[in-house]
Amino acid sequence: MTQLADRFHFLARTGGRDKTPVRATAPSVGGTAAVAVLRLYDPIDSWGEWFGVSAKEFAAVLDELPATTTTVELHVNSPGGEVWEGLAIYNALRQHPARVVVVVDGIAASAASVVAMAGDEVVMSPGAELMVHDAWGLCVGDAAEMERMAADLSRESQNLAGLYARRAGGTADEWRDVMRAETWFTAEEAVASGLADRVDEDGDEEQAATARARFDLSVFAHAGRAAAPAPHTPAPAPAGSGSTPLQEGSRAVAFTDEQLTTMRQELGLGGDADEATIVAALTEALAERAEPSAPSPTASLPEGTSLIETATLDELRADARAGREARTQQITDRNDALVRAAVDDGRIPPVRADHWRAQLAADPGAAEVLASLEPGTVPLAAKGHDGDHDGAGNDPVADVRESPVYRNWRV
């Protein structure tokens, strides 16, 4: 987050320019599949238009994609911008039903690196760079206001650290240390850290350097990877370690104790088999049923294997569906209760309720962030003052606080 003058600072190299449209090419359709190619080639800014790309503009482009779109290929060359706008774009991509492939063509710094984390696959072009750092902000007011702003920035930075940890492994605290150091990554270093999946060997390194040169990076502590120290990051999660988060749209399955007992018996599992073991055995049984082999009439079943009657299998399927639906409703009800409680005790304003419901649905870890907010932060009753501050009916402090500069900090 930067001051007003820095809305223009990123673009100081080029002066007047034409904004790159988000939707650079129409979706190319082949058969029943479609690939939509989008570009984020500007700062991320709630003002949109000339200043950069807003979350509203980006979401509008996503909404225009045809229902046949199966892959969204987002090319990124952006120095970042406002934290809330970046998060909104991140969540819009995560909530889209299509597979998302993020390709960093030049630079994905600050809030743009948060957007990149939304990809089901993150690809670095040769010579491309990625940067993570703590949130910035602008505050006008007394010591209490400054302390409140510092707490807000710290909470938001911790939230972003959780997104990096979710993709790369490690903990949010470990990635917060990486952010405090303003860490820059080459394409290869981004892959080694776990933030990206691969380097596009067919890419053009010179083209990536030209793309990065669009922006004046002197606003940062280090003006690019060449001016920054080597990155020190948590070790990436090993393949198959189980630390990879669930894909968007996956659901937890909840069963009653009676259902679990029945499934253990029918699947020939021990009495201590947990839900994951039961689901794995049931999946295997369903796969075998889908491609049956013709058994010999006298063939015996392998030891530890049991047959499941069709009626029992159908009942298990119905129970599984009911469990998924019940669990989904349970999570929705819990999230609604958490948001209502936060509004009631003044941790968040009512207008942010829908935002927090979306955050909780996309990332269960957001519940910890919501719980950490201090009660009474949002006044529950009107607070007066002693009248005009300038004798003309104007309140200059209120004017500052209501301005877009004060209300929107940048990453």
Q: How far apart are CA 128 and CA 139, in angstroms?
A: 33
CATH of the domain at 208: 3.90.226.10
In a domain, 390, yes or no: no
Condensed to tens digits (0 to 9), the pLDDT of residues 234-269 reads 766 554 443 344 333 333 344 566 677 777 788 888
- Residue-number span of the structural domain to which 358 is assigned: 323-372
Condensed to tens digits (0 to 9), the pLDDT of residues 103-122 reads 999 899 888 999 999 999 99
Residue with the bigger pLDDT between 302 and 197: it is 197
- What is residue 289's three-state secondary structure? helix
In a domain, 308, yes or no: no
Verify that 222 and 340 share a domain, yes or no: no
In a domain, 377, yes or no: no
Q: What sign does the CA torsion over 12, 14, 17, 18 have?
A: negative
- Residues carrying an active site annotation: 110, 133
In a domain, 8, yes or no: no
Q: How many distinct structural domains can be found in the chain?
A: 2
CA-based angle 320:358:138, to the nearest 5? Answer: 155
In a domain, 43, yes or no: yes
pLDDT of residue 210: 62
Verify that 207 and 345 share a domain, yes or no: no
Identify residue 206 by its one-letter amino acid code: E
- What is residue 48's three-state secondary structure? coil
Verify that 348 and 219 share a domain, yes or no: no
At residue 101, does pLDDT exceed 90?
Answer: yes
DSSP-derived letter for residue 11 is T
Domain boundary among the residues 227, 260, 291 is at 227
Q: Is 263 exposed, middle or buried (0-12, 13-18, 19+ CB in 10 A)?
A: buried
In a domain, 291, yes or no: no
Domain boundary among the residues 178, 208, 227 is at 227
pLDDT band at 75 (very low <50, low <70, confident <90, very high): very high
Identify the top-confidence range among 12-21, 239-248, 300-309, 364-373.
Answer: 364-373
Give strand pairing partners of 99.
71
At residue 273, does pLDDT exceed 50?
Answer: yes
> How many CA atoms lie less than 13 Å away from 288 in the CB half-sphere?
13
